């Protein structure tokens, strides 16, 4: 589409650009703006049909949004903010620098400004920060016919009309009814008789991971958010829940690789910002490796006598690290999907110990045979490695499964107890064990 638009622009066929944009998917149009050179952005933005501009704007990247806002008039800006769904307006404002925010708010109607300011206060990653207020409210005394009238009247500005919310005069949530139920009901039926009053809802401070899990479990298209008096304050729609789900996954991936999480895409993040997210963890983990090093200092005499011992260290350390990382990954994932709870700790541990014994025996046997045949039938050396390996695997699996559950119990994100930290801990145990066993069996 990009080349096409540029060609039309060069030949000044503006009306053709307009119809091309009009026919296209708004997400693709937003993508187009993200790729356009800044000089063309505003020209083309002004060609967008009025009803489309705000929608397209809400899908643009932050940089593009910023450039457009800085280039359009106050009146145009005010028009866009007016048309944006509240959650999109809040998301956009949160990303803008202070001077842009000031100008945006100055060009926002009083009522919406008050709402935006209230929504900006909800903590990140909570229901409050995910929800929007553009839902259709019904009363239970209404007939299906009344309900359709309400939908036709208020629907065009709503984010979804597929779940309708039934409230009393105090905005207390009494039930929900789906557009499907309305369409399949008789036109004179009362909303009260077809609504579902057994509603699942969340409070404004509910965590996004929990919300994502609810959507997944119940196959919701939207989820109501209520205050302490059970008054409906907003709804979360499935598209925002999916986005939250993916951000939660990305956060876990990044924490598990010892990085400070960030929501900015890789290629849009500067080199310094990347380094900053990583270096602190690297330094801390590096310093904690000193303990493993000091154990080696203690056993200097052993490998001075028998330097071959050193050559099995990488194998032992890596296997321990891999075993711990397998266990911790499964447990972290299970906790985040709600398949494993804190109370399962002992059950999980017992399971991991048995798994460790099975894996450990296989690994030890392979090592024993390898050393026996490749190192002059040195059975004693093989035995040292095999025993250390089995013990290391058991320790690694135990540490790997217990630390994430412990973190969860302490209210921390289990994902920080992943491979990097576990490897550091397992290294210390593995090396101490290895040289102790070696001293005992080989008499060095």
Residue 258 is a binding residue for a copy of itself (CB under 8 A): yes
CB of 268 to a copy of itself, least distance (A): 8
Element (H, E) at 73: none
Among 130, 209, 427, 434, indicate the residue that binds a copy of itself (CB under 8 A): 427
Residues 225-244 that bind a copy of itself (CB under 8 A): 238-239, 242-243
Among 36, 195, 292, 395, indicate the residue that binds a copy of itself (CB under 8 A): 292
Among 2, 15, 43, 362, indicate the residue that binds a copy of itself (CB under 8 A): 362
Residue 437's nearest CA partner among 390, 387, 392, 396 is 387
Residue 2 is a binding residue for a copy of itself (CB under 8 A): no
Stretch that binds a copy of itself, among 71-79, 99-107, 226-234, 424-432 (CB under 8 A): 424-432
Stretch that binds a copy of itself, among 4-12, 66-74, 214-222, 403-411 (CB under 8 A): 214-222
Among 1, 2, 310, 440, indicate the residue that binds a copy of itself (CB under 8 A): 310
- In the bound state with a copy of itself, the residue whose beta carbon lies nearer, of 77 and 87, is 87
- In the bound state with a copy of itself, the residue whose beta carbon lies nearer, of 117 and 341, is 341
Cα separation, 209 vs 222, in Å, equals 15
Residue 240's nearest CA partner among 222, 260, 214, 213 is 222
- CB neighbours of residue 398 within 10 Å: 19
Could you tell me the maximum CA-CA distance found in the chain, to the nearest angstrom?
A: 94
Stretch that binds a copy of itself, among 4-12, 71-79, 290-298, 376-384 (CB under 8 A): 290-298
Residue 300 is a binding residue for a copy of itself (CB under 8 A): yes
Q: How far is CA 249 from the centre of its chain?
A: 4
70: which 2 tokens? 């800085």
Say if residues 178 and 162 touch (Cβ distance below 8 Å).
Answer: yes
Cα separation, 183 vs 148, in Å, equals 9
Residues 6+ apart with CB under 8 A from 38: 67
- In the bound state with a copy of itself, the residue whose beta carbon lies nearer, of 315 and 442, is 315
Site string for a copy of itself, 162-201 (x = CB under 8 A): x----------------xx--xx-------------x-x-
Among 11, 307, 343, 443, indicate the residue that binds a copy of itself (CB under 8 A): 307
In what order do the strands lie in the sheet containing 232-237?
A: 202-203, 222-226, 232-237
CA distances from 352 to 330, 335, 402 (A): 11, 15, 10
Residue 127 is a binding residue for a copy of itself (CB under 8 A): no
Among 6, 221, 432, 444, indicate the residue that binds a copy of itself (CB under 8 A): 221
Cα separation, 217 vs 239, in Å, equals 16
Site string for a copy of itself, 315-354 (x = CB under 8 A): x-xxx-xxx-xx-xxxxxxx--x-xx---x--xx--x--x
Cα separation, 426 vs 356, in Å, equals 14
Q: How far is CA 216 from the centre of its chain?
A: 14
CB of 74 to a copy of itself, least distance (A): 30
Among 290, 346, 380, 412, indicate the residue that binds a copy of itself (CB under 8 A): 290
Cα separation, 109 vs 106, in Å, equals 8
Residues 263-282 that bind a copy of itself (CB under 8 A): 265-267, 271-272, 274-275, 278-279, 281-282
- In the bound state with a copy of itself, the residue whose beta carbon lies nearer, of 15 and 200, is 200
Residues 384-423 that bind a copy of itself (CB under 8 A): 419-420, 423
Q: Where are the beta strands (DSSP E) in 220-379?
A: 222-226, 232-237
Residue 25 is a binding residue for a copy of itself (CB under 8 A): yes
- CB neighbours of residue 178 within 10 Å: 15
Residues 6+ apart with CB under 8 A from 380: 441, 442
């Amino acid at each position: 589409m990009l080349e096409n638009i540029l060609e039309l622009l060069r030949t000044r066929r503006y009306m053709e650009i307009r119809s091309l944009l009009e026919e296209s998917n708004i997400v693709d149009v937003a993508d187009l703006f993200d790729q356009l050179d800044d000089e063309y952005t505003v020209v083309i933005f002004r060609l967008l049909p009025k009803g489309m501009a705000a929608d397209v704007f809400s899908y643009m990247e932050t940089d593009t949004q910023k450039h457009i806002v800085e280039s359009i008039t106050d009146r145009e800006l005010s028009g866009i903010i007016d048309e944006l769904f509240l959650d999109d307006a809040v998301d956009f404002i949160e990303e803008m620098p202070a001077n842009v925010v000031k100008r945006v708010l100055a060009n926002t109607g009083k009522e919406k400004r008050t709402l935006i300011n209230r929504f900006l206060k909800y903590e990140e990653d909570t229901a409050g920060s995910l929800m929007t207020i553009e839902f259709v409210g019904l009363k239970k005394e209404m007939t299906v016919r009344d309900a359709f009238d309400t939908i036709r009247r208020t629907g065009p500005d709503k984010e979804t009309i597929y779940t309708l919310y039934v409230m009393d005069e105090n905005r207390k949530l009494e039930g929900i009814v789906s557009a499907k139920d309305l369409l399949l009901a008789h036109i004179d039926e009362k909303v009260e008789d077809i609504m579902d009053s057994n509603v699942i809802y969340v409070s404004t401070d509910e965590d996004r991971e929990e919300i994502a899990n609810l959507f997944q479990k119940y196959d919701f298209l939207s989820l109501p958010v209520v205050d302490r008096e059970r008054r409906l304050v907003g709804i979360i729609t499935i598209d925002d829940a999916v986005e939250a789900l993916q951000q939660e996954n990305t956060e876990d991936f990044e924490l598990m690789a010892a990085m400070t999480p960030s929501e900015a895409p890789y290629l849009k993040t500067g080199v310094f910002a990347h380094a900053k997210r990583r270096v602190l963890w690297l330094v801390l983990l590096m310093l904690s490796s000193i303990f493993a090093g000091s154990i080696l200092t203690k056993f200097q005499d052993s490998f001075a006598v028998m330097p071959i011992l050193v050559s099995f260290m990488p194998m032992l350390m890596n296997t321990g690290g891999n075993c711990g990382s397998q266990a911790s990954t499964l447990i972290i994932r299970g906790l985040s999907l709600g398949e494993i709870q804190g109370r399962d700790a002992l059950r999980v541990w017992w399971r991991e110990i048995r798994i460790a014994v099975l894996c450990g025996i296989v690994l030890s046997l392979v090592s024993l045979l390898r050393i026996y045949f490749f190192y002059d039938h040195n059975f004693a050396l093989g035995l040292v490695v095999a025993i250390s390996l089995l013990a290391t695997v058991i320790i690694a699996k135990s540490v790997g499964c217990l630390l994430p559950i412990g973190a969860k119990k302490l209210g921390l994100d289990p994902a920080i107890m992943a491979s990097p930290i576990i490897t550091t801990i397992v290294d210390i145990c593995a090396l101490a064990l290895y040289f102790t066993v070696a001293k005992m069996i080989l008499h060095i």
